[in-house]
Amino acid sequence: MSNISNVKQLRSPEYVRKKIQKIVSEVIRPNADHIDREGQFPAENLTILGKAGWNSLFLPKSLGGLALDYQSFGIVTNEIAQACPSTALIYTMHTGASLIIYKYGNEDQWQRWLLPILDGKIGTIATSERSSGGSYWINQSKATYKDDGYLLNLEKSFATSSGYADFYVLQTRSPQARKLSDLCYFIVDGKQEGIETGKWDALGVRGNHSSSIQLTDIYVEKRDLIGEEGTGKTIIENSNAYIFGIGSAWTGTATGIFNEVVEISKRSSIKYPVIRNQLAIAKIKITGLTAWQNDISRRLDQWVENGGASLPVELRTVLIEFKVYASEIANEIAQIAMDIAGGFGYQVGTLERLYRDARAGIVMGPSNNLARDLIGKEIAGIHTPFWPEDE
């Protein structure tokens, strides 16, 4: 087989889906329940995904990657989320972090941080701070200079995989920042002393461990600054992968809930027209949402093919709309499913777990209220500066 048809085969949605479904059915699905009940970080899932190359999905072959695209990323995240939303969110934030290093970092950083992903190492993105909540691009914290590098004394209010990530792609303001948009990104070794992890005890996505992290006197060598001081503004404005991933994760969660409740209904309630009607309502919503995921992934792939420079504002807004809609559909379908499944569905089990998991989508940044406010202002032609100093 020629190289070209090899690439085509690897990129074909059917091939990607078949490959990831195998890992989901053999490992991720069987682990999902105890990960939730015990609030356990899904380390085994991540190691297996890493060794099979999925954690390096966007990376080139020279870095052990699969050199795949957004369409594949959407499929993989969606399939994982159907079984375990906790793992899908970890996967999304990891992929987003690795893409930032690949796109804005240098060869030395690729070798030290991206190559080991094949051995099961994972990363995450840490931006959110207590003072700005869901407006996660705004940071009050600031790095300072120390010797030839930087010193970090700051708290991040939430970071997926906190305490478990091997590296944090961490955003803060540059030492000489005068404006909120004077940002930089550092790669911070997650396993060093001086990083205190908060407790993660949440309603849903309990395996995802998204607690706070407190960094005290963390020294970062200059070689772990991504790009230059100030590059952070470009990074946060263009790092779209994880918003698309979050939307795909909630699309998968909605699908996972639907599949579960179809099986439950077949045990008795499907004989009622009202139940079949509810199942049809859910199915139509999922079909529409999945089509939207595919359409957005095609647009993102097209954007990459055209050079992947700054992300058009219109496409960025679409990504936010997708995140809002997908998380709301997941909650709507969870609600419908609870009705269809009756008393047995209400008991502790897969459906009850996914029902709790779905709630996280509403509050994750950009939270749906904040996102709708941004979208609505754009519709109304009201200029909403990303940064206060743009006003």
Q: Which residues bind ligand FAD (CB under 6 A)?
A: 93, 124-128, 133-134, 136, 157-160, 205, 208, 210, 360, 363-365, 367, 369-370, 373
Q: 348: buried, middle or exposed (CB in 10 Å: 19+, 13-18, 0-12)?
A: exposed
Report how far residue 251's alpha carbon sits from residue 186's, in angstroms, rounded to the nearest whole number: 31
In the complex, the smallest distance separating the C-beta of residue 360 from ligand FAD, rounded to whole angstroms, is: 4
Q: CB nearer to ligand FAD: give 21 or 172.
A: 172
Q: CB nearer to ligand FAD: give 64 or 133.
A: 133
Q: CB nearer to ligand FAD: give 85 or 345.
A: 85
In the complex, the smallest distance separating the C-beta of residue 212 from ligand FAD, rounded to whole angstroms, is: 10
Report how far residue 218's alpha carbon sits from residue 195's, in angstroms, rounded to the nearest whole number: 8
In the complex, the smallest distance separating the C-beta of residue 362 from ligand FAD, rounded to whole angstroms, is: 8
Q: CB nearer to ligand FAD: give 35 or 364.
A: 364
Q: CB nearer to ligand FAD: give 151 or 363.
A: 363
Q: CB nearer to ligand FAD: give 262 or 362.
A: 362
Report how far residue 183's alpha carbon sits from residue 231's, in angstroms, rounded to the nearest whole number: 7
Q: CB nearer to ligand FAD: give 208 or 331.
A: 208
In the complex, the smallest distance separating the C-beta of residue 35 from ligand FAD, rounded to whole angstroms, is: 14
Q: Which two tokens stand for residue 365?
A: 């940044």
Contacts of 391 (CB under 8 A, 6+ apart): 385
In Å, what is the CA distance from 336 to each residue of 85, 248, 270?
Answer: 19, 20, 14
Is beta strand 123-126 parallel, antiparallel or unpaired with respect to 149-156? unpaired
Q: CB nearer to ligand FAD: give 47 or 141.
A: 141
